[in-house]
Amino acid sequence: MDLKKSLLDAKVIKIAIVDDDLSEDICTSDLLSIDGDVAALLGDPNDPDYEAYIEVLNRHGLNIETIPDLASPLSDKSIREEAPARLSDAVRKVLEFRYDNAAPVRRIQGLLLGTGVLEENIDFYSTPSIPSDKYYDLVIVDYYLVKNSNQQTLPFIDSVITTHKDCENPLQVILMSTHVAQLRSEFRDIRPILKASSSRMRIMGKPMSDDDLIHWKTTLYQLASDRPFISAVENFVGETSKALELAALDQAKKLWELDLQAMDILHETATLDNDDFCRYVEECISRHLLTALESYTGIRNSLRTLGDSLIEHRNTNVIAPVAEIGDSRAAIRGLMRSMEWRGGPSLDHTTYPAAASALSKAQWLKKNLRFGMVLRSNDGGEWLNLTQACDLAQAKDDAFDKVSLLLVSGVRSRPLNQEKNQAMVYLSSTATDTETDTLGWNLRNIRTPSIQEFAEDFVNGWTSVGELRLDQAQSIAAIYSSRASRVGLQRTLSSWHLQGTALLAGTLSQADPAALLAGTSLSGHAMSRGNSDELHIDQESLSSIIAAFPESINDELLRVYMGIQLKAGGKYTSENLVIYCKDKPTSMGDLKSSINHEKWLAHDVNKTKIILAVWHA
């Protein structure tokens, strides 16, 4: 990764850093934070230091009647030097405190200079104000910019982006703060307010140590790589947002045209279709909205432009996940999950008549159990209901013990060890963002309890997991009914968590083969990308490696963070050795066997190199 070349290729030349820790402006509140007595003397005409200070101001031609804050002249170095010692000492302490706080800014400056940015091309500002004739390629802004408040920060960034909108190359922004937890909590709200994509703006914690700079290097590299695509990405987001708003507004207006007869028709249609009235109306509205959205040509035009660019770019680059404080993969995971799972609650357990008769329980089940619903039994197993709605609806009270349900067994699996056969149907996403395993359905393992039997057993710890989208459930039902039939679904992304360990090659080479696996713990994620999997370790793991092996760090390590493609069981050897284990090694000997690379391990030149072993979490 040649960061200097990337910045030059992207024409990132002029950079502005805006941070109030760079300011030398003084006000009464600053003095108050150091010593209340010092601040008080500015309002006490009887204090000798007050009289001496007024004489200094008079010598400099200042009229105290026109100065709203008597501490503000202390911003002038010459006045500070002549001021009474109590005042000058307090100001010195304020500026020393700011200097310490500005250490991260100096680290950023050093990083930029080290990547070839000229010192004269880096400008510093301590207030949210950039001259109108100044134009930059990158602006780095402190989130709490004025008096530890963010109130003026986003309007300032918005105005700077607007000022640069007609420039040949789009302005990019890094928003930073030492208050990482607060910034992380507001992470998802900032970009929509500014209408700035992740390709334009990254949100980072300030580099509090030199180790943090590796994340900043990655961010700068990614911004440089993304710069040519900012217009295409933001054009898509803008066109899609506009289309969603127009389509939703148009549909909201048309809903007012519905009368009681229309609602009665919808209810009757849902009833005749043996469907839940709520789900039927939700499906009608969502499809109506989708139809309106599909008719908006701006989305398609923007996607074609972006798609053509991505094809060319993907041939030569692995596009890394965003290096910033928030979860950059949450958005794509959410999109993929919504392709397979419905939103909202799927079953109201509070209405289950646990103390009622067996008939009442069966009637409740008949009314509430829906096609495509995923249930969890008391032993933790998942079951997909593929009972057709009409079979439930047409069941008579006296036949509840004769009409059977169709429940298909769920199988939790890891993408690395999924069984490949026509009886298994796998989802690509997890039911929630916290789970690591994906669900599959074993069409050979089914249950067919009667309505009566299942209704009475439901009280024994059964819960609802969620509800598959209708096309997903129908596809599984079609495969079940005829293994030869196929229903084409839109391709989705499969992603899973990784665990691993990092250790020096010399450590592994000399380790007892029977010793338990040891090293620096790693975590990350992998995604299925064609014939290979794309592997990434996370920021915390990268920081742990830096801390554990400071003498063995190299830029090649960033490739594992930004993404490398390997098949399960494969190895990547360069400055480091990366192995993608099919299963977790239990001992040092297992890891040696997995590497199967004794000559490499035994070579003296490799003893200080890092081995990164990862496997499915």
Amino acid letter, residue 105: V
Phi/psi class of residue 337: alpha, beta or left (left: φ > 0; alpha: ψ in -120 to 50)? alpha
In contact, 563 and 321? CB cutoff 8 Å: yes
pLDDT at 485 over 60: no
pLDDT at 417 over 80: no
In contact, 384 and 473? CB cutoff 8 Å: yes
Whole-number pLDDT of residue 484: 43
Q: Band of the pLDDT at 147, cuts 50, 70, 90?
A: confident
Report which secondary-structure segment, H or E, holds 427: none
Q: Which residues pair with 376 in a beta bridge?
A: 382, 463
d(CA 115, CA 147): 32
Reported as a single tens digit per residue, the pLDDT across 96-129 is 888 888 899 999 999 999 999 999 999 999 889 9
- Number of H-type helices and E-type strands within the chain: 25, 18
In contact, 83 and 185? CB cutoff 8 Å: no
Report which secondary-structure segment, H or E, holds 545: helix 539-548
For domain 349-481, the CATH class is mainly beta
Q: Band of the pLDDT at 489, cuts 50, 70, 90?
A: low
* Start and end residues for every CATH 2.30.30.110 domain found in the chain: 349-481
Q: Band of the pLDDT at 488, cuts 50, 70, 90?
A: low
Residue 422's CB is within 10 A of a number of other CB atoms, namely 10
Average pLDDT over residues 365-393: 90
Which residue did the predictor score with more confidence, 450 or 75?
450
295 is written with which tokens? Answer: 């008719």
Q: Band of the pLDDT at 596, cuts 50, 70, 90?
A: confident
**b vs e for 154-185, b when ≥16 Cβ sit within 10 Å of the residue's Cβ?**
bebbeebbebbeeeebbbbbbbbbbebeebbe
Could you say which DSSP state residue 59 is in?
H
228 is written with which tokens? Answer: 């040519």
Mean per-residue pLDDT of the chain: 86
Average pLDDT over residues 202-222: 91
Most confident of 18-22, 133-137, 343-347, 368-372: 133-137
**b vs e for 1-40, b when ≥16 Cβ sit within 10 Å of the residue's Cβ?**
eebeebbeebebebbbbbbbbbbeebbbebbeebeeebbe
Average pLDDT over residues 40-56: 85
CA-based nearest residue to 533, from 239, 318, 243: 318
Average pLDDT over residues 383-396: 89
pLDDT at 316 over 80: no
- Could you give the C-alpha distances from 378 to 178, 381, 382, 386, in angstroms and in order? 46, 7, 10, 20
Reported as a single tens digit per residue, the pLDDT across 418-428 is 667 777 888 88
Most confident of 85-94, 240-249, 265-274, 487-496: 240-249
d(CA 496, CA 438): 8
CA-based nearest residue to 322, from 314, 312, 330: 330
Reported as a single tens digit per residue, the pLDDT across 1-36 is 688 998 999 999 999 999 988 878 888 888 888 877
Q: Band of the pLDDT at 553, cuts 50, 70, 90?
A: confident
pLDDT at 345 over 80: no
In contact, 432 and 334? CB cutoff 8 Å: no
Whole-number pLDDT of residue 481: 85
In contact, 412 and 437? CB cutoff 8 Å: yes
118 is written with which tokens? Answer: 């000229």
